[in-house]
Amino acid sequence: MNPFAKGFLEGIIPPPPMTVSEWSDKHRRLSSKGSSEPGRWRTSRTPYLRECQDLLSVTNSDVERVVLMFGSQLGKTEMGINFLLYTIDHCPAPILCVAASLDMVKRMSRQRLEPAFEETPVIKAKIAPQRSRDASNSMFIKEYPSGILMLTGSNSPAGLRSAPVRYLFLDEIDSYPADASTSGGVSEGDPCELAIKRTSTFSRKKILMTSTPTLKEFSRVESEYLASDRRKFFVKSPCCGKYQTLIWSQMKWEKRDPSTAKYECSHCGERFDESHKTSMLRQGEWRAEKPMTRKTAGFQMSSLYSPAGWLSWPELVEEFLRSKEDAPLFKTFVNTRLAETFDESYQSQLSAEELLEKCEKYKPGTIPEDVICLVQGVDVQGGSGTKDERIEISTFGIAPEEHMYLIQHDVIFGDANQGTVWKGLDVLLTAEWPHPNGGTLKVDCCAIDTGGMATNSVYNYCRERKSMNVIGIKGSSRPAQPVIGRGSKVDLNYKGKAIKGGATVYMVGSDTIKDVLYSRLKFNNKLHFHCETDQEYFKQLTGEKKVLKKSGRGTEYVQKRNQKVEALDCAVYAYSALNHLYQRFPRSKIFQMFTDRLLNSANLAKKQRLNSRKKSKKSYVDNW
Ligand SMILES: [Zn+2]
């Protein structure tokens, strides 16, 4: 055929109807640069992607939007690249591809797209080799016959206002800013909306939106998924052959040993390991929860489905164990592995009833064996004639790895501007607590709230007991504050200079500490309570809840309705007292130091006992 006729025919013969999966299996090559499994693309390796990508095929006109709310290690970005390459080769038209920022675009272009173009021969033949100064093929623009691929960042309003496009790939939409305007600029509106507007002139358009989700109520991908037909992937269980979705709560393992991870069938209760994964994925199917509206198909999938050899169940369990005690890490786990949004209030959702079951055998006022030092947190209520004047004191025993044991919680009634309550506190402060292994413990640091109506009385008390490590503190509810800050002098002379030996006040990051304490209450057993701890104590301890601020920016702790929270405040202050000790002694050595001290104290007591026994024997002899 002469070249003219060939070109002519190419112009009028419609492309043979091919799906994205068929095209990818035939043409796509994975580069050794960007992929752990270089070579030919096989949709059978990630069978769940077949339906997602085939809805983007030119032959399928029912669906306009495909939303993937996916965990990591499932191949969603590679699928996005399949979509782009398929379009370039099979049904060329203008395409816009948006990443979170211009930097991300550069990275995506260099690390993922260019290698994919290079390795896939049919594409390589269509895109001119990249030359500097060549406008038709730069980092942000790729031209090919009958189309152009434009790449931009969600923070670039100019890029989002580009020419009309038929195909749109919005990658990681939850990391886009709320507004496309660059910092300080005028409001440009939502970057997704701006990009989608580019497609409005085309009737047979395709929009792919993918992301791991982020914060509940703020997640774009979740709201898109919820507005879709909500598909979930059902797999056939190897045990009883029934279908189910894989969910985290069915993952089981033996105590702290991720290698024992198995999945417990939610139908028959039998446990199976991940050697069945490959066949389960092959026999799996997407099922929608709702009929489709707005031509939007939505898919949710967690990393539990990650194909064999990518991310294993034991690895997930290991990550879970590592993250569950650390709020930010745990949030990442929930988002990127479970593909679920994170509810900031989740960790603070604790019930007093649940905690009552955590009470341990030791009696109030006694020291459990592990404890090697004592700290106190003191909350001051009222002052100078107000109602219910009192101070409340929680004494906590500290064991290695920051285990905290509630030893006792005391309330001393009286005016904090009078001496009586402070005399009561002196008794607790100077008490010697016998340790079960011998020796005694005394309070190593006591932190008192200065924020109430008796500020000056607290200053006076702290000033006089500085040598006993009694400190004044002031809580700050600003987010991301250090647990305890550097002290600032509050006793100033008439020139405004600090008086030597004057009182010092330490700022305490209350919200930071509440995050620590609440996540420990929820996820591990580092907080211990004596056998007589009552419901009222736990009600106060759980009396606050983390919520999203009304402004929508960030979170804050709020008191539950009609709920006192003195026990929580005392625990927060006691934890700040422990952290004050870290300011004075190196954190790496402090627990060993206290252990040695206790041992010395026990030895000393033993010696004294022996001596006094000798003495009494001697005196007995003398008397005789
Ligand atoms: Zn079963």
Residue 20 CA to residue 79 CA, distance in Å, equals: 9
% of the chain exceeding 70 in pLDDT: 91
Top mean pLDDT of 90-104, 123-137, 326-340 is at 90-104
How far does residue 268's CA lie from ligand 1's centre (Å)? 4
Q: What are residue 264's DSSP bridge partners?
A: 271
Distances (CA, A) of 217 to 327, 361, 401: 18, 42, 36
How far does residue 242's CA lie from ligand 1's centre (Å)? 6
Say if CB 407 and CB 374 are below 8 A apart. Answer: yes
Instruction: Look at 622 and 395; give whichever has higher pLDDT.
Output: 395
Best CA proximity match to 271, nearest among 308, 319, 315, 237: 237
How far does residue 135's CA lie from ligand 1's centre (Å)? 58
Q: Give me the mean pLDDT over the 125-134 stretch.
A: 69
Paired tokens of 344: 């900031």
Helix or strand holding residue 243 (H, E)? strand 243-244
3-state SS, residue 480: coil
What is the DSSP code (8-state) at residue 498?
Answer: B
Q: Give me the mean pLDDT over the 393-417 stretch.
A: 94
Average pLDDT in the chain: 88
How far does residue 279's CA lie from ligand 1's centre (Å)? 15
CB atoms within 10 A of CB 348: 24
pLDDT at 185: 59
Distances (CA, A) of 443 to 358, 394, 440, 502, 581: 25, 11, 10, 22, 11
Say if residue 16 is exposed, middle or buried (CB neighbours under 10 Å; 0-12, 13-18, 19+): exposed
494 pLDDT above the threshold of 60:
yes
How far does residue 337's CA lie from ligand 1's centre (Å)? 24
Paired tokens of 527: 């907080």
Question: Which amino acid is it at 49?
Answer: L
Question: Which amino acid is it at 74?
Answer: L
247 backbone φψ class: left, alpha, beta (φ>0; ψ -120 to 50): beta
How far does residue 497's CA lie from ligand 1's centre (Å)? 75
How far does residue 274's CA lie from ligand 1's centre (Å)? 14
How far does residue 277's CA lie from ligand 1's centre (Å)? 14
3-state SS, residue 194: helix
pLDDT at 620: 47
3-state SS, residue 228: coil
Q: Give me the mean pLDDT over the 407-422 stretch.
A: 91
Instruction: Look at 398 and 353; give whichever has higher pLDDT.
Output: 398
Residue that the structure tokens 């030893």 belong to: 407
Question: Which amino acid is it at 555?
Answer: T
pLDDT at 458: 92
How far does residue 59's CA lie from ligand 1's centre (Å)? 38
Q: How confident is the model at residue 621 (pLDDT cuts 50, 70, 90)?
A: very low
How far does residue 264's CA lie from ligand 1's centre (Å)? 8
Best CA proximity match to 252, nearest among 315, 317, 305: 317
How far does residue 263's CA lie from ligand 1's centre (Å)? 10
Residue 377 CA to residue 379 CA, distance in Å, equals: 7
Residue 587 CA to residue 576 CA, distance in Å, equals: 14
Residue that the structure tokens 């056998």 belong to: 531
How far does residue 271's CA lie from ligand 1's centre (Å)? 8
How far does residue 513's CA lie from ligand 1's centre (Å)? 43
How far does residue 236's CA lie from ligand 1's centre (Å)? 9
Residue 376 CA to residue 399 CA, distance in Å, equals: 14
Residue 56 CA to residue 41 CA, distance in Å, equals: 17
How far does residue 233's CA lie from ligand 1's centre (Å)? 16
Instruction: Look at 396 and 112; give whichever has higher pLDDT.
Output: 396
How far does residue 307's CA lie from ligand 1's centre (Å)? 20
Distances (CA, A) of 459 to 124, 425, 471, 559: 75, 14, 9, 27
How far does residue 284's CA lie from ligand 1's centre (Å)? 15
337 pLDDT above the threshold of 50:
yes
560 pLDDT above the threshold of 90:
no
Helix or strand holding residue 586 (H, E)? none
CB atoms within 10 A of CB 601: 18
Instruction: Look at 17 and 555; give whichever has higher pLDDT.
Output: 17
Best CA proximity match to 68, nearest among 153, 174, 143, 161: 174
How far does residue 280's CA lie from ligand 1's centre (Å)? 12
Q: Helices 420-430 and 455-464: crossing angle, nearest 10°?
A: 40
- φ, ψ dihedrals at 152, nearest 5°: -150, 170
Residue 382 CA to residue 390 CA, distance in Å, equals: 7
pLDDT at 495: 74
For 402, half-sphere exposure in the C-beta direction (CA atoms, 13 angstrom radius) is: 15
How far does residue 281's CA lie from ligand 1's centre (Å)? 16
Residue that the structure tokens 């305890």 belong to: 484
How far does residue 71's CA lie from ligand 1's centre (Å)? 25
Rg (CA), the chain: 33
Q: How confident is the model at residue 610 (pLDDT cuts 50, 70, 90)?
A: confident
384 backbone φψ class: left, alpha, beta (φ>0; ψ -120 to 50): left
How far does residue 259's CA lie from ligand 1's centre (Å)? 21
Residue 293 CA to residue 228 CA, distance in Å, equals: 7
Helices and strands in the chain: count of H runs, count of E runs: 20, 27
Paired tokens of 382: 């009222």
Helix or strand holding residue 23 (H, E)? helix 20-27
* pLDDT tens digit sequence for 499-516: 777 788 999 999 889 988
What is the DSSP code (8-state) at residue 318?
Answer: H
How far does residue 303's CA lie from ligand 1's centre (Å)? 21
134 pLDDT above the threshold of 70:
no
Q: How confident is the model at residue 624 (pLDDT cuts 50, 70, 90)?
A: very low
Say if residue 463 is exposed, middle or buried (CB neighbours under 10 Å; 0-12, 13-18, 19+): middle
Range in 101-105, 323-327, 336-340, 365-369 with the lowest mean pLDDT = 323-327
Q: How confident is the model at residue 622 (pLDDT cuts 50, 70, 90)?
A: very low
Residue 65 CA to residue 55 CA, distance in Å, equals: 9
How far does residue 319's CA lie from ligand 1's centre (Å)? 26
Say if CB 326 and CB 522 are below 8 A apart. Answer: no
How far does residue 241's CA lie from ligand 1's centre (Å)? 6
pLDDT at 552: 57
* pLDDT tens digit sequence for 540-554: 998 888 776 666 566
How far does residue 418's CA lie from ligand 1's centre (Å)? 69
* pLDDT tens digit sequence for 158-199: 888 878 999 999 999 998 887 777 555 567 788 999 999 999
The CA angle 454-460-464, to the nearest 5 degrees, is 150
- φ, ψ dihedrals at 486, nearest 5°: -75, 145
How far does residue 288's CA lie from ligand 1's centre (Å)? 22
How far does residue 244's CA lie from ligand 1's centre (Å)? 9
pLDDT at 199: 93
Paired tokens of 602: 């026990």
